[in-house]
Structure 1
Amino acid sequence: MAKFLYVYHGSGKMPTSDAERKAMTDAWTGWFGKLGSAVVDPGNPVGMSKTVMPGGKIENNGGSNPTGGYSIIEARDIDDAAEKAKGCPMLAMPNCNVEIAPIINMMG
């Protein structure tokens, strides 16, 4: 099995009420539960990014496609990884998506 990086993109807003937080946590826990042992690292949400450009210029604009978080998932191939991503709770939010990339093991 290969490992894949899921990068969650979009402007999903963090929940503000206890009920919203519980609903979000339950959605992610349920999805990870369905994926089972394929979840290598459930990851975490991430904060606003900065981009370091060639020449050292730093842009503080959140990036061209803001990252909301990441996970590492094991799958047979990228098509299997894409199928697994279809149940991601991030996809229920407007203007959000999951980018999938194979992790290439360079050290072994």
Structure 2
Amino acid sequence: MQLRTEWKNGWAAIIALIFGSLSQGLSREQKNKQALLTAVYVFIIMTLTYYISASATIKHSTTFPSWVLLTAPPLIFLSTSIILWCCLRASDLIMKATESQGLIPYHA
């Protein structure tokens, strides 16, 4: 018996499997609420962390216009949060597609 370790669908599957394992026993409404809250928290944490770090490291002699430094990171973080939210909302489908029970490994 060989332990199945490949991840066919990359990081989206890994996130969905973790979320699926942690949310077992929750209703569909509770899962959707947790997925939304997780995406919002990730956006806030990434944005705050970036601006705290950037205020200490970015000098005025940068080649990028200031509006780019102010708007690009939140847009990237928002996109990442939306992708995360979609993956978490689809965790049941991803778990079915990968034939997984969550983080519980099975033998092929």
Q: Same fold (TM over 0.5)?
A: no
Greater share of strand = 1
Greater share of helix = 2
TM-score normalised to the size of structure 1? 0.29
TM-score normalised to the size of structure 2? 0.29
Bigger relative contact order, structure 1 or 2 (CA pairs below 8 A, ≥6 apart): 2
Bigger radius of gyration: 2
